[in-house]
């Protein structure tokens, strides 16, 4: 139901564009669920120092259109799922001609590469990770640069094309 209504609202809402791109962002959150046997079975409790959490928890990664704050897509999982795993589920729900802002937690060459290659003009913007290897292609403004990421050697050995800008 969420997917159908989110797409209807998103498609019916005129969004301003930046350089011809729809502006999106993704981020994760977790929710406490009611303490029921069904939720316990579906969403295992996290433990801290051997003590289980008071409630089962659901992890969610959502995608939002930035000018309207409409949620356009969401992926749910257990606390055992990484945010990157859940973000991968949003790739097919992301439209073409988009710029998706992400925080450093989504810095995964596999995720970023798949995001770019899934359609036409699917861009992402992420703060550069400390120690990242890159080549500066062009300065865009104060503190902003277009860079080409250089993958770690383990990625180079895979034989895949990891060029990302």
pLDDT digits (tens, 9 = 90+) for 57-98: 999 999 999 988 888 999 999 999 999 999 999 999 999 999
Residue 142 lies in a domain: no
CA torsion sign, 34 to 38 to 40 to 44?
Answer: negative
Residue 153 lies in a domain: no
Residue 20 lies in a domain: yes
Closest by alpha carbon to 47, among 80, 77, 76, 75? 80
Residue 162 lies in a domain: no
Residue 57 lies in a domain: yes
> How many domains does the structure of the chain reveal?
1
Residue 21 lies in a domain: yes
| Residues 4 and 11 sit within 8 Å (Cβ to Cβ) | no
Residue ranges making up the domain that contains 92? 2-101
Residue 134 lies in a domain: no
| 161, burial (CB in 10 Å: exposed 0-12, middle 13-18, buried 19+) | exposed
Q: What is the pTM of this model?
A: 0.80
pLDDT digit string, tens, across residues 119-149: 999 999 998 888 888 888 888 888 888 888 8
Residue 7 lies in a domain: yes
């Amino acid at each position: 139901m969420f997917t159908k209504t989110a797409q209807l609202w998103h498609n019916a809402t005129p969004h301003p564009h930046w350089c011809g791109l729809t502006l999106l962002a993704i981020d994760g959150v977790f929710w406490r669920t009611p303490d029921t046997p069904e939720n316990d079975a579906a969403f295992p409790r996290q433990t801290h120092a051997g003590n289980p959490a008071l409630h089962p928890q659901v992890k969610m990664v959502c995608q939002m259109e930035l000018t309207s704050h409409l949620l356009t897509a969401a992926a749910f999982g257990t606390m055992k799922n990484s945010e990157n795993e859940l973000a991968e589920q949003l790739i097919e729900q992301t439209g073409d001609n988009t710029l998706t802002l992400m925080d450093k937690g989504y810095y995964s060459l596999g995720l970023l590469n798949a995001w770019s290659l899934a359609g036409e003009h699917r861009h992402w913007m992420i703060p550069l990770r400390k120690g990242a290897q890159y080549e500066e292609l062009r300065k865009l403004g104060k503190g902003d640069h277009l860079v080409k990421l250089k993958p770690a050697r383990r990625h180079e050995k895979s034989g895949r094309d990891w060029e990302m800008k």
